[in-house]
Amino acid sequence: MRPILDEAYAAAHRRGFFGVAVYNPKREENVGAVIRVAHCFGASILYVFGQRFRRYNSDTTNGTCHVPTLYIPDPALFWDYMPEHASVVALEITDGTDSLVRFCHPGRAVYVLGPEDGSLPSVVLDRAHHLVRVPTQFCLNVAHALTATLYDRTAKGSA
């Protein structure tokens, strides 16, 4: 078996899981790009919550056919749909966040991202287990922030 196939097999059979949640994404294209990135890295579940976009024409891998996707209109309800034993990792540019560079990814995690033109609601930030920031000078596109985070998880592994 070629090494890349060995790595893919090992990744598919690791214990634990991760999900991705995006709150009030700014544009339709962002939803599709987030779904594609999550699907590419092997997410177990996707959430889109808030009142903005629900369309995802830019999901070129048809990720929602392969990864369960939940649409939740009210951020307060997000917690009712969390997998058991999952740690919520909120990605946010705010004081008191840990740098992604030093972050140790939990084995069972849901990564929550906010919109480029706003922040995650306090109902998420106050209950998140971890607040993490991608170390950039200013805000990234939501799909780019997710790509950096999931690449970091893949490169470092998870606890």
Spatial distance between the Cα atoms of 93 and 80, rounded to a whole number of angstroms: 25
| Spatial CA neighbour of 124 closest among 59, 79, 159 | 79
Spatial distance between the Cα atoms of 57 and 5, rounded to a whole number of angstroms: 30
Q: Which residue has the higher pLDDT, 1 or 100?
A: 100
Task: Look up the domain containing 107 and give its range.
Answer: 16-156
> Does 122 fall in a domain?
yes
- Predicted confidence at residue 40, as pLDDT, reads 92
Average pLDDT over residues 145-159: 92
pLDDT digits (tens, 9 = 90+) for 54-69: 555 555 666 667 788 8
Spatial distance between the Cα atoms of 34 and 63, rounded to a whole number of angstroms: 10
| Spatial CA neighbour of 64 closest among 24, 34, 27 | 34
> Does 2 fall in a domain?
no
Total domains in the fold of the chain? 1
> Does 37 fall in a domain?
yes
Which segment of 22-31, 32-41, 133-142 scores lowest on mean pLDDT?
22-31
pLDDT digits (tens, 9 = 90+) for 31-45: 888 888 999 999 999
Q: Which residue has the higher pLDDT, 38 or 25?
A: 38
> Does 43 fall in a domain?
yes
- Kindly report the CATH number assigned to the domain that includes residue 100: 3.40.1280.10
Average pLDDT over residues 153-157: 91
